[in-house]
Amino acid sequence: MKTPKDILTKFENASEGLFYGDVTLRLSVKQGKSRYVIAREESCIPTDELSVGKHFVPMEENKKTGC
């Protein structure tokens, strides 16, 4: 079974900017019909103790540190 090019493009785009994590492409077939699911999971590891639960860090700041 061939994966459509537009699905592969979306899968590749989902990996852009990912520093640490997973991008998965899942194919499910039910009654002969294909269903594609693209999932992106980004992992974050705090770099110091203050970043856990004491201070809110905006997403933009997290991206600067790789999280």
pLDDT digits (tens, 9 = 90+) for 31-49: 999 999 999 999 887 776 5
Could you tell me the pTM of the whole model?
A: 0.62
Q: What is the mean pLDDT of residues 15-41?
A: 95
Q: How far apart are CA 61 and CA 41, in angstroms?
A: 18
Which residue's structure tokens are 């700041």? 61
Q: Is the pLDDT of residue 63 over 80?
A: no
- Going from N- to C-terminal start, the domains of the chain cover 5-64
Strands 21-30, 33-42: parallel, antiparallel or unpaired by DSSP? antiparallel
Q: Is the pLDDT of residue 66 over 60?
A: no
Q: Which residue has the higher pLDDT, 7 or 60?
A: 7
Identify how many contiguous H helices and E strands the chain contains and give both numbers.
2, 2
